[in-house]
Structure 1
Amino acid sequence: MLLQNIAQSITHNHPECELIVLLIDERPEEVTEMQRTVRGEVIASTFDEPATRHVQVAEMVIEKAKRS
């Protein structure tokens, strides 16, 4: 997955960075794979959740990133 490669490159080239990966509308298997392969925080809202939950999770992650 392209996003995994990008996340791994960031952690490899800039280990001082705090990595937060936000996955919206993904399959649970893809979320699990990302959590296993990426050194960083993976936050997800899977495809079986309503759109309002996707928005809620995205807003929460934006606020968390602002505080970091």
Structure 2
Amino acid sequence: EWGSASFVFQALPRLPLMVTYWLGDEDFPSACKIMFDESASHYLPIDACAILGGMVAKKIIHS
């Protein structure tokens, strides 16, 4: 199961990202996760992946 809502998009050529959102309830808070394809480290160094993830997170927070 991929959360309450999820979206896959091409962040960069050959680099898909999945953003997944889980609705909260009385027991658990809402959550949002950004997941990289397993091939991400073949195209970008880990620090660049972290920067890209931060940029996506900032866009989500401000939208």
TM-score normalized by structure 1? 0.41
Structure exhibiting the larger radius of gyration computed from Cα positions: 2
Q: Of Structure 1 and Structure 2, which has the larger fraction of its residues in strand?
A: 2
Q: Of Structure 1 and Structure 2, which has the larger fraction of its residues in helix?
A: 1
TM-score normalized by structure 2? 0.44
